Chain A
Amino acid sequence: MGEVRALIVDDSSVMRKIVERTLRQAGLNLAVVLEAGSGAEALEVLKAKQVDLILSDINMPVMDGLEFVRQIRAQNLASGIPVVMVTTESSEEHVKQAIQAGARGYIRKPFTAEQVKERVLPLVHGA
């Protein structure tokens, strides 16, 4: 697999590091890891940088993850780039909302490297 540029969006810097570490444990060859603390910050990153994969929390201040994904699609940023929600919210309703907003995958916190491997790697391969 080639090198991947990832954007990790979470208001917790600890969670951003954990997500990065887990992506590496899952076998993803990360060339660049960009970080953002909110959806609004992440939109600014996407206007300036190209990425191959986005992982985003849902519950964040300023702009939550669902609105972030809607804005990516509305502003035609990162067209075709897979977005995976990584969140504590796990109900069918939350998953449905995320998919409707434009997310391609969903991982519930807490998670294992195996779950990340199953749900993220196919999206990167197929992107």
Chain B
Amino acid sequence: MMLNGIRSGAVAAAAEIQRNEREQTMAVSLRESVELVSDPRNLDSSVEEVFRMMLGLDCRRESGPQVREAESVTAVVGFGGVLSGACVLSCGGAAAIKIAAHMTGMEFGEIDDTVKDGIGEICNMLAGSWKSKVPELAAHCGLSVPAVITGRDYHLHVQAPEFQLHHVYGFGDVNFAVTIVCDGLQ
């Protein structure tokens, strides 16, 4: 799974912001703040916030690996601007259906377009919430629209990332993984 297409949307969004900041003379750099940007607590609090506010669910961070199911759903939202990379939400079919059911109040028997749409939106909110934890990132990093992939046996590969956070969370009897991959930091 390649991130370039997804990221181009985020780069365009970041360019729009930067066009409106022409008067700003001081260059923004996150290089010195990499520890703050990659603080794993930011991801945990973003997941907690989004799931509690939008789904009414309390998630717990899990130490074990993500449960693998035959069918899985992965949503990707690209970052562009001072940070390039992606926020990836990955879950099995059962978890995807439960997340969508909590979001919409509907019941789903399969992974249909509404389920995929819901997972994409949760990923979008996670990406937005995560970047809002660091003011420079919130202001100078754009988000792409979500892309959702369904299927079996696929892997996300990023060559030489600046940093990567990968946490597994659970609610009820299902779990899901959220990954922040940064492959460029200004």
Interface residues of A (CB under 8 A from B): 11-15, 17-18, 21, 59-61, 64, 66, 87-94, 97, 108-112
Q: List 27 A-B contacts (CB under 8 A).
A: A11-B145, A14-B103, A17-B104, A18-B54, A21-B105, A64-B13, A87-B128, A88-B124, A89-B143, A90-B128, A90-B138, A91-B132, A91-B135, A91-B139, A93-B21, A93-B139, A94-B138, A94-B139, A97-B20, A108-B132, A109-B125, A109-B128, A110-B50, A110-B54, A110-B125, A111-B53, A112-B53
In the complex, A59→B17 CA distance in Å?
12
Shortest distance from the beta carbon of B50 to any chain A beta carbon, whole Å: 5
Beta-carbon contact of B49 and A59 below 8 Å: no
| Residues of B contacting A92 in the complex (Cβ-Cβ under 8 angstroms) | 139
Sample of 20 more A-B contacts, CB < 8 Å, known A14-B121, A89-B138, A89-B143: A12-B118, A14-B114, A14-B118, A15-B121, A17-B104, A18-B104, A21-B105, A59-B124, A61-B145, A88-B129, A88-B143, A90-B138, A92-B139, A93-B17, A93-B20, A94-B138, A108-B128, A109-B124, A110-B50, A110-B53
Query: Which 4 pairs show the lowest CB-CB distances between chains A and B?
Result: A88-B128, A110-B53, A91-B139, A91-B138
In the complex, A64→B142 CA distance in Å?
13
In the complex, A90→B135 CA distance in Å?
9
Beta-carbon contact of B13 and A59 below 8 Å: yes
In the complex, A23→B20 CA distance in Å?
32
Shortest distance from the beta carbon of A28 to any chain B beta carbon, whole Å: 18
In the complex, A103→B67 CA distance in Å?
44
Chain B: residues with Cβ within 8 Å of the partner, total of: 30
Residue B44 is within 8 A (CB to CB) of chain A in the complex: no
Q: Name B131-158 residues within 8 Å CB distance of A.
A: 132, 135, 138-139, 143-145
Residue B83 is within 8 A (CB to CB) of chain A in the complex: no
| Residues of A contacting B17 in the complex (Cβ-Cβ under 8 angstroms) | 93-94, 97
In the complex, A41→B12 CA distance in Å?
21
| Residues of A contacting B162 in the complex (Cβ-Cβ under 8 angstroms) | none
Beta-carbon contact of A90 and B132 below 8 Å: yes
Shortest distance from the beta carbon of B101 to any chain A beta carbon, whole Å: 11
Shortest distance from the beta carbon of B180 to any chain A beta carbon, whole Å: 15
